[in-house]
Amino acid sequence: MLRAANIDRLRRARNSAAMPDPIYSTLTICGSAVPMKRAGTGAPILMLHGSGGSPRFLPGMRLLSEKFEVIIPQAPGFGGGEAPPWLERVSDLANFYLELMETLDLREVHLLGLSLGGWVAAELAVRDRSRLRSLTLMDAPGIEVPGVKGLDQFLLEPEAVIRATYYDTKMAEDAVTRALAPENEDVRLSNQRTVAKLAWQPRFHDPALQRWLHRIRIPTLILWGADDRLFPPAIGEAWAKAIAGARLVVLPRCGHLPIQEQPEEFARLVCDFCAGVDR
């Protein structure tokens, strides 16, 4: 249950004029220009975005930046850019983010993967957890659960995919208007091309990944929307079973993006989890 003190604290933070604004910069890693947002101070939270590309600096991110340094890079191939020749698999993105952490000399990182970024984060943690303090996965594809099938977004029209992403119909309507605006078409198409390259076959999972998840030996939080139609909560349960000691939290009345539909609860859960790990 959400504690009253946390609700009050998060509401005050959301309404505060002193909330940190992101600093925008660009660096070059693996031959690709990487736009990046950073805000706040404290232990680093490295946030890996999903198939929609690096999101706007959302309220949930602002709330996290009150307690932590939030770092949000945009992966190559997203945001309107061309995918580099080396980007062929999700594991390539995992290696790319390992390079990014080395370049920035990030240590004791709280790694937070949103949707497709959660799959990438898990691949990264399997490969090298030496710079990681914790792992949080939000509605992440990447593993297959027999008998559990979500909507196949490669077979749906773009508008249908966006609407299926949300529980809140008003939020879905706003997202459709924003994403399908003519000025955003190049970004939307480049994101779709890159996601198809990474997750077309097999659909949104790596058959070999699950057998190596035992290598993730750091505190892990799994967050899931109870009404996620793209990747049903049973997939979250499978992640929690496969990663030793992982904790699963399912948020009611929420679709695929808890960070947007329930930003206060999302931020509270992540803040409490990361702070608990740091103690």
Per-residue H/E/C for 138-193? ECCCECCCCCCCCCCCCCCCHHHHHHHHCCCHHHHHHHHHHHCCHHHHHHHHHHHH
Number of domains in the chain: 1
For 32-38, what is the mean pLDDT? 96
The reported pTM is 0.92
Segment 10-21, tens digit of pLDDT:
444 444 445 678
pLDDT over 90 at 9, yes or no: no
Question: Residue 237 belongs to a domain with what CATH number?
Answer: 3.40.50.1820
Domain with 74, as residue range(s), is: 4-278
Segment 84-143, tens digit of pLDDT:
999 999 999 999 999 999 999 999 999 999 999 999 999 999 999 999 999 999 999 999
Sign of CA dihedral 178, 23, 61, 153: positive
User: pLDDT-derived band of residue 164, with 50, 70 and 90 as boundaries?
Assistant: very high
pLDDT over 90 at 170, yes or no: yes
Note the pLDDT of residue 278: 84
CA 254, CA 257: separation in Å to the nearest integer? 7
Q: 276 to each of 133, 134, 216, 221, how far by Cα in Å?
A: 11, 10, 18, 12
pLDDT over 90 at 71, yes or no: yes
pLDDT over 80 at 242, yes or no: yes
Indicate the burial class of 67 (C-beta count within 10 angstroms; 0-12, 13-18, 19 or more). Answer: buried
CA 106, CA 118: separation in Å to the nearest integer? 19
